[in-house]
Chains A and B, each alone.
Chain A
Amino acid sequence: MLCAQLLFPLSLFLGLSATVEVQRPRGVPLSKRQFYEEGKPFTCLDGSRTVPFDRVNDDYCDCKDGSDEPGTAACPNGSFHCTNAGHRPAFIPSSRINDGICDCCDTTDEYNSGATCKNTCREMGRRERESLQKLAEITKEGFLLKQQLIEEAKRKKEEKQSKLTELQAGKRDVEEKVEALRTVKETAEQPEKEAKERHLKAWEEQKAVIRMEKDKAKMAEAFLELDDDADGYVSVAELQSHAELDPNSDGSLTEEEVQGLLGGADKVDTSSFENIWGNLKDKYVSESQAENPSSLETAPEETKEPVTDNESEPYPEDDIGVEEDDEEEEDDDDDTHEDFEDKVRSFFTAQKARDDFEESERALREIDDQVKNIEKELSFDFGPSAEFTYLYSQCYELTTSEYIYKICPFNRVSQKPKFGGSETNLGSWGSWAGPDDNKYTVMKYEHGTGCWQGPSRSTTVKLTCGKETTVTSTSEPSRCEYLMEFTTPAVCQEPLPVNVVHVDGHSDHVEL
């Protein structure tokens, strides 16, 4: 059967040029043969005029639509039909007749140009049939795979949906549990809270005492420092040496100003100094501090209680256990042993309640995440039958001479230099971007890394039918606009019911 088909057109081809001319004018397709009747006036196919038959293919354009010159290049808008026996018939623009370039595989377009064309129709036909056959096989297998993918996607979707339902139901339980545990926690924290408040109060009181003592010590120190002549009084002159005390900060500390600081007196003793210390302490700089600023900071008291110098620092709640211990030692005298046991007990109870609560909250968050992920996944347009579902959360790579390209469908495309260097984002999932009637053949990834003086990178991914899921090629046709070819069974169309090879053979037969 196959043999017969191949031989039949060949035998007829040998007589082709003679027979075709007789049967119909050059360049006319069989379907229009009836309009070109030998010897009868020819009416342009647009009906615009009628000319004698010898003006058909006389290398002069008479018809506006070019129909009188199907076999010459005379008309600017004409077209030429090549039979291409052995392969597929085709129309070419009239301007390609006798232009020295072989366009029709049967060589019929170059009948007068001196171009040496070889009839390649059989070879091309064979190759096309082979590749069509191959394609058909791929399509067939791919389409089967696609069915599986659709099934799988359906199952997966159902799974996801039931998982979602399950999660959402579970979520309600967990939410209730969280609420319950919150109550437990808050109850358990009550004694601890009280203890903490009590302790906080004590802490504040203690802090005030310490601060006062420190202030007193500082005052005494200051008095001693200021009383240069150690006469038990701080005089105007003695105070004047501390320029930093200048109340109007004009750079000079006058006697009047000093007197004002001393409450109008010329000099003060220790007890009156206590009254005017308030005027000085904010600005006063210790002489030893001025000379050796670190000496006071390293004082043991300062390091032990940093709080005293920084009142805004919050109560060290996180370190409460440790602080408790510290305080315990110091406050041993104040707190009874019972109090301590009580506190520890309430602390551990509260801690457990807290842990339980946090754990339940974590569980809730996890559920929320899961719900969100599933909802996100379900929100993607995975194709009319969800056949692209399987690509989700997968990645595919192609290594070229310079780069490794990676596509994670519905996520992003990236490029990484083969020999080290950082990854460049070539775009994140944007949308399906095929033509309106075939939307699911092109993916668009957008808003990748910006280009110097140009737009941000983007990638167009063209999907073709294949058994394998793989990246077949990448290119950058325009600066920062990438093109990726990707095969997947998910785009394989249902194979045509009629055999393609048979149709071709059939048409050859009819043409001749």
Chain B
Amino acid sequence: GHQAEAARFQSARCLFVLLPFFLGVAQAVDRSNFKTCDQSSFCKRQRDIKAGQSPYRALLETMELTNSRLTLQLINDNNKVRLLLELYRLQGNMTRVKINELKPLKPRYEVPDVLIQDPPTEPLSVVAQDENGVVLSLGADEQRLIVSARPFRLDIVEGPKVLLSLNSRGLLVFEHLRLRKDTKSQDDAEDGEGAEKTEQQAAEGDQLKEEEELPGTWEETFKTHTDTKPNGPTSISLDFSFPGVEHVYGIPEHADTLKLKTTDGGDPYRLYNLDVFQYELHNPMALYGAVPVLLSHNTERTMGVFWLNAAETWVDISSNTAGKTVFGKMLDFVQGSSETPQTDVRWISEAGIIDVFIMLGPKPSDVFSQYASLTGTQAFPPLSALGYHQCRWNYNDQEDVRGVDQGLDDHDIPCDFIWLDIEHTDGKRYFTWDPNKFSQPKDMLQGLKDKRRNLVAIVDPHIKVDSNFKVHNEIRSRNFYVKNKDGGDYEGWCWPGNAGYPDFTNAEMRAWWASMFAYDQYEGSMENMYTWNDMNEPSVFNGPEVTMHKDALHGSWEHREVHNIYGLYVHRATAEGLIQRSGGVERPFVLTRAFFAGSQRYGAVWTGDNAAEWGHLKISLPMCLSLGLVGISFCGADVGGFFKAPSTELLVRWYQAGAYQPFFRAHAHLDTPRREPWLFGPENTALIREAVRQRYALLPFWYQQFYNAHRTGQPVMRALWVEYPEDSVTFDIEDEYLLGRDLLVHPVTEEGLKSLTAYLPGKREVWYDVHTFKKHAGGQSLYIPVTMSSIPAFQRGGSIITRKDRVRRSSACMENDPYTLYVALSPEGTAEGELYIDDGHTFSYEKNKAFIHRRLTFNDGVLSSSNLALDSQFTTASWVEKIIFLGARKPASVTLKTAGWSWGSETRVEFEYDSALEVLSLRKPGVNAGADWTVLLR
């Protein structure tokens, strides 16, 4: 991934276009290329409206209630425009609130293709009703939804407690579709002089003033770009109040802290997929992707708000305790006079409708399940994609690729993928190969296949306008390009020079795009070649804010309405292409830079064009944690940093951190010196090798975590508070995290560090250092001295983690290797875990139930493996070579019982015991990993 960094262009014309980038190359982002709220007319308009009495009133007499759906009209007393409110109670403890114009001049955009189905509903019943409002039952736990009529507001309560209020600050704003004033006055003139009111207004019988039209309402200019806004103002806004909440999270993607900050006095968090050149840390500016999901959390409850809208969106956050010091809060507490802490959130979008899903938790895991039931879960990646990825812009030619592959073997560094960036193509024509540098792609791919490795080639969604380019000609002749406001094919500048942008919102277009990945269409492709979608925000070098003009057209919809979902569609069409090329057999692997709610279903994302700086290494944790909270588990940052050259120390530390993040890929900018792992002296090569080896040893654990994420929607990489929701110490922690619930990682992310302090959560937990097996009590901050080889990581007592300690050069090579079980005992002397095995790359696990899923439990001295999926069928050659008990007493004897005809017969198992560390190692139980067995410690 790489942004409009100009020098690559040959054309003199584009020099002018890219001038701003030259000016901006200094160190960080050129902020002037991107709008502030003040420069975005709808955001400014909306934000100028302050909290107060809402002009909206619910017309209770219009209420209609079917089994699961309640509708009623809202009226704005200032302009008499009516809205239609729809309320649904959804299965799984969710409420959906939809607000649209009752009679819009034309349909307003409702985001399709994000929900995996029409969310199943549950009966909604009226508990009470009078002229002030309606009380509806939400079923569980005394939960009620209260609709207040004047002014209109919604409150969700549980018993006497208010969980969440909507429009309690009166910030429901709905800019209704209207005719342009000049057009209207013409109409009026035709109707006759003095006709001041529309019929509707006249019918209302009210004296209405023309709403004041602010500049930017019908046309807006940013820098040299004019947005013609033919539909005028269409923005919407709604406020949400969370009483008792001081912590909110989510709404990625921002290079900011895990815990969201209040936005008073600054810009709101912005959600607008943008290609930001050299992004800055710790600010609310928009980045490459947008997931409009916000989580609230306190010690009692976690909730979520999913704002389903694909237009440019801003989120304001304020808090009544934000300014208070700890002492101030204490004083309030002592005096007993404190107001309840409260966090207020306001969503503002430029177009579309209000469509909100309120996920009521109450546990973090419930919110994840609820959101997964709406938008789906993480795609289950091929096992190889969880290995190490070696990327660079660019590996120069086939010989270079061969050399890197060989270098990895020469230095014994495992790797599953080598990547090719844009230079591999013939003049940035995707789906083609440079005829000189990559003249025999199949030879190259076969070479990698012989090493059981894979390749990723980039395919970006901008298509070179070139009448000799087949892909362009086809898209043009099929009329698949996005159109400009005047109806011609939209064209913009990107890597190839002048480019067209296929309309990925069009299902026919996506089907055609998918067909392009067929082996006979994509010349030189093979089954071990996968795809990378970059620049799919979409990036348009000469467009406003380096993206597409908002008045460009996707069929009848404006780009304004679909902007944030464009990247998801590109990702989806590509992933579907990879599935189809194998006849639906093989799982795809596609990396995307732009994303939206639901993108988790299509593959991996990375945090875009970061830089080789310690701050960027550090921020990669909260950035991926935030994505995990909103369903996207397969996240990673460019190891080493994309821009600039990392110091050797930074590179090593980044490998160590990256080895414990879901997507593990080293990447580098074209203008930086080479940085393959063996180029920094034998000592550093050894440090990097060790980090990568730790990753590979843990692949079975990673794979099982992804299977779990795929099945349940629980994140792989988790903020501590997700597992310890009642421990408020964890609420701000973002320099360490959990993988699943059992592995706690605190990577070194600071230069020259000699020690660090890791928080080990859980007062009743114990944690075992995975490297030394030393036991530490939970509920404490642990001082840890670190050296260059340290990657502090701890296994939770009570867990069983499976590893393959025979690390080989790629994941495929390790397929049949035996497992080692790490049984870390809880203070009660118990442990449990899971083991998942399948073929590692096909959909057979789904279609044919071809997998092994086992529960491993240790209780009362008995460790047993039992089948979690009785109807599944799979055989593995892998066996259990070793079982290591951490925190165990020395047994007198160890015996093994296996299933089958010999069930019941016991064999003795040899063991070793380290009394200082309380580590018991069983030698070679030798049972098949898919079998039922028990081990008895006596």
Contact = CB atoms under 8 A, between A and B. Distances in A.
Interface of A: 58-60, 73-74, 76, 93, 95-96, 99-101, 113, 401-402, 451-455, 475-481
Interface in B772-820: 805-809, 812-814, 816-818
Interface stretch (B88-96, B192-200, B671-679): B671-679
B905 interface: no
B507 interface: no
Question: Lowest 5 A-B CB distances belong to which pairs?
Answer: A99-B813, A478-B674, A452-B7, A454-B671, A60-B924
A101 B813 contact: yes
A118 to B, nearest CB: 13
Contacts of A100: 452, 812-813
Given A452-B7, A453-B671, 17 more contacts: A73-B808, A76-B805, A76-B806, A95-B412, A95-B809, A99-B813, A100-B812, A101-B452, A402-B436, A452-B671, A453-B7, A475-B399, A476-B396, A477-B396, A477-B400, A478-B672, A479-B670
Interface string B372-399: 0000000000000000000000001101
A153 to B, nearest CB: 35
Contact of B817 (A73, A101, A454, A475): A73
B671 A96 contact: no
29 contacts: A58-B924, A59-B818, A60-B881, A76-B805, A76-B807, A93-B412, A95-B807, A96-B809, A99-B808, A99-B809, A99-B813, A99-B814, A100-B452, A101-B450, A101-B452, A101-B813, A113-B816, A401-B436, A452-B671, A453-B25, A453-B671, A475-B400, A476-B396, A477-B396, A478-B673, A479-B670, A479-B672, A479-B673, A480-B671
A476 B399 CA distance: 12
B229 interface: no
Contacts of B674: 477-478, 481
B923 interface: yes
A451 B672 CA distance: 11
B98 interface: no
A74 B881 contact: yes
Nearest to B8: A452
Nearest to B409: A96
Contacts of B889: none
B451 interface: yes
Interface of B: 5, 7, 25, 396-397, 399-400, 412, 436, 450-452, 670-674, 805-809, 812-814, 816-818, 881-882, 923-924
Given A73-B817, A101-B451, A101-B813, A479 B671 contact: yes
Contacts of A479: 670-673
B671 A451 contact: yes
A502 B25 CA distance: 62
Contact of A481 (B7, B673, B805, B881): B673
Contacts of B7: 452-453
Contacts of B818: 59
Nearest to B669: A479
A96 to B, nearest CB: 7
A442 B412 CA distance: 26
B398 to A, nearest CB: 12
Contacts of A99: 452, 808-809, 813-814
A23 to B, nearest CB: 26
A73 B805 CA distance: 10
A427 to B, nearest CB: 15
Contacts of A477: 396, 400, 674
Contacts of B814: 99
A190 B332 CA distance: 107
A93 B813 CA distance: 14
A95 B806 contact: yes
A362 B432 CA distance: 64
B671 A73 contact: no
B424 to A, nearest CB: 15
Contacts of A455: 673
A361 to B, nearest CB: 51
Contacts of A451: 671
A479 to B, nearest CB: 5
Contacts of B805: 76
A96 B808 contact: yes
A452 B8 CA distance: 10
A59 B818 CA distance: 10
Contacts of B671: 451-454, 479-480
Nearest to B923: A60
Contacts of A95: 412, 806-809, 813
Given A453-B25, A476-B396, A477-B674, A74 B806 contact: yes
Nearest to A94: B806
A363 B917 CA distance: 89
B199 to A, nearest CB: 63
Contacts of A454: 671
Contacts of A96: 808-809
A356 B398 CA distance: 67
A475 B812 contact: no
Nearest to B392: A478
A66 B99 CA distance: 69
B434 to A, nearest CB: 11
Contacts of B5: 453
Contacts of B923: 60
A238 B812 CA distance: 110
Contacts of B816: 113
B402 to A, nearest CB: 13
Nearest to B25: A453
A242 B452 CA distance: 99
Contacts of A73: 806, 808, 817
A454 B672 CA distance: 7
A475 B396 contact: yes
Contacts of A453: 5, 7, 25, 671
A475 to B, nearest CB: 7
Contacts of B451: 101
Contacts of B397: 475
